[in-house]
Amino acid sequence: MIDRHTHVRFQNVNHLLVLALLIALMSGCTYPSPHVAASPASTPPVADEDAYKLAETGVTRNADWIPYTEVIDGVEMALVPAGCFMMGSDDGGRFEQPVHQVCFEEPFWIDMTEVTQTQFERFGGKAGQGNHFSGFLTGEDLPRESITWDESDAFCRQRGVRLPTDAEWEYAARGPDGLVYPWGDAFVPDNVVYAYGPDPATRAREVGSKLGGASWVGALDLTGNVEEWVNDRFSETYYSELPDGAVNPQGPDTGTSRVRRGGGWNPMDPLCLRASFRVGGGNPSRMATNHLGLRCARSYEK
């Protein structure tokens, strides 16, 4: 059940700013200089009913939406309004083509951050491997990694939610504007936790440490930090088989592997950090690496 008395809007990010400061204390492509949009923190709060109404009506531009979040069963989730976008990229690999329109007639929720090790334990998650990065770190706000698709799916279900679909994940990252990266069309190294940035990452970092990387709905770490399992089976030809204007596609009916999103902390090429980038392969019951985690989604219930 959604507790509307404990809702937390994205504009109130003081706790994440403090986290980013603590991290700072502890611690092959050329792109044009980016234009950084104003932070969502500068926008006024949105009344609950107004946010729900707009989310249900839908938006046609990213700018039409002010990020809105609520704490649902103890986890902060971002509301993603109904709308359409062009999924895929002509500049990407064959798994991102052809570009096609996808629409959502209903809103949905997505976790603000990747599932943390603390959240995984609190909800009774089970995994065959321990966290690779918890031995010498507290792990409280680190993402839960080294986890298979089967374990990720079971965890989200146990929490009363689910893994996002491939299309939901990309829409939450890009929006109707079809941004190249969650924050805009130019690559900004400081917005991502990855190994070849100005602050090179040699491991996963605490979730929410890169506030500048927030997507149009306020979700953090959609690119970099850890890759994320999504619900869809993987097929090299699925995009070409999907009709243009498909509504809330659920992925192919058959397939032995599952889609992974977000690139993780260790790609050598920023192209792997684009919001349209997707990969498959690997046994979903066995594949678990220290750069692979999850976030959950929730169907909309007003």
Higher pLDDT, 131 or 115: 115
Q: Is the pLDDT of residue 21 over 50?
A: no
Quickly state the pLDDT bin for 137 (edges 50, 70, 90): low
Helices (H) and strands (E) in the chain, counts: 6, 11
Higher pLDDT, 133 or 6: 133
For residue 19, give every residue at least 6 positions away whose Cβ sits within 8 Å of its Cβ, in sequence order, or none.
141, 206, 208, 209
Distance in angstroms (rounded) separating the CA atoms of residues 201 and 224: 10
Q: Is the pLDDT of residue 9 over 50?
A: no
Tokens at residue 282, please? Answer: 């690997």
Q: Is the pLDDT of residue 92 over 60?
A: yes
Indicate the class that CATH gives domain 4-24+43-299. Answer: alpha beta
The structural domains of the chain, with segments of one domain joined by +, span 4-24+43-299
What 8-state DSSP symbol labels residue 5?
G
Distance in angstroms (rounded) separating the CA atoms of residues 29 and 177: 23
Tell me what pLDDT residue 87 has: 98
- Is beta strand 75-80 parallel, antiparallel or unpaired with respect to 108-111? antiparallel
User: What is the model's pTM?
Assistant: 0.84
CB 233 within 8 A of CB 258: yes
Tokens at residue 286, please? Answer: 């066995």
Q: Is the pLDDT of residue 35 over 50?
A: no
Quickly state the pLDDT bin for 46 (edges 50, 70, 90): low
Which range of 117-131, 215-229, 270-284 scores highest in mean pLDDT? It is 215-229
